[in-house]
Chain A
Amino acid sequence: MREPTYFVLAALLAGPLHGYAIIKRAEEMSGGRVRLATGTLYTALDRLTAEGYVRLVSEELVAGRVRRSYGLTDEGSAALRAEAQRMAEAAQLVHAAAGVVVVHGRVRRANAGSAGGVSRKARTA
Chain B
Amino acid sequence: MTTLERRCRLLLRAYPAEYRRDRGDEIIGTLLESTPACRSWPTSRDVRGLVVGGLRARAAFNRRLTTGASLRVAALVGVSAYLAYAAVNYLAFAVLALTWKGRAHQADWSLMLAGALILVAVVLAWVSSRRAVRLTAVTAAATGVSVAGPWHYYGWMFVSVGLACVAAMALFAGNGERPTRRWAWLVAVFGAAPLLEWLLPGAWPTAFFALVEVMGVVSVLWVVIDPRPAIATAVFLLALWLPVGIVSLAGRDLQSAVPLLIVSAVAPVTLWRLHRQSARASAGGGI
Contact = CB atoms under 8 A, between A and B. Distances in A.
The 7 closest A-B pairs by CB, nearest first: A37-B49, A39-B53, A39-B49, A19-B30, A39-B50, A20-B33, A65-B29
Interface residues of A, number: 22
The number of chain B residues touching the other chain, given as a range, is 20 to 34
A41 B30 contact: yes
A23 B53 CA distance: 16
B52 A19 contact: no
Interface stretch (A7-15, A43-51, A80-88, A107-115): A43-51
A37 B50 contact: yes
A43 B287 CA distance: 8
B287 A38 contact: no
B286 interface: yes
30 contacts: A19-B26, A19-B29, A20-B29, A23-B30, A23-B34, A35-B45, A36-B49, A37-B45, A37-B46, A37-B53, A38-B27, A38-B30, A38-B34, A38-B49, A39-B48, A39-B53, A39-B54, A40-B49, A41-B49, A42-B23, A42-B26, A42-B53, A43-B52, A43-B56, A43-B57, A46-B287, A47-B287, A50-B284, A50-B286, A65-B25
Contacts of B186: none
B196 interface: no
Contact of B29 (A37, A40, A50, A67): A67
Nearest to A64: B25
Contacts of B23: 42
Interface in B81-101: none
Contacts, number: 72
B267 interface: no
Contacts of B52: 39-40, 43
Interface string A67-80: 11000000000000
Nearest to A68: B26
A45 to B, nearest CB: 9
A37 B34 CA distance: 9
B31 interface: yes
Given A37-B43, A43-B57, A65-B26, 13 more contacts: A19-B26, A20-B29, A38-B46, A38-B49, A39-B27, A39-B54, A41-B49, A42-B23, A42-B27, A46-B60, A50-B284, A50-B287, A63-B29
Interface string B47-74: 0111111101100100000000000000
A90 interface: no
Given A38-B31, A39-B50, A68-B26, A46 B57 contact: yes
B53 A40 contact: yes
Contacts of A47: 287
B207 interface: no
Contacts of B57: 43, 46
A65 B28 contact: yes
Given A65-B25, A67-B29, A20 B53 contact: no
Given A47-B287, A65-B26, A65-B28, A37 B56 contact: no
Contact of A39 (B29, B33, B46): B46
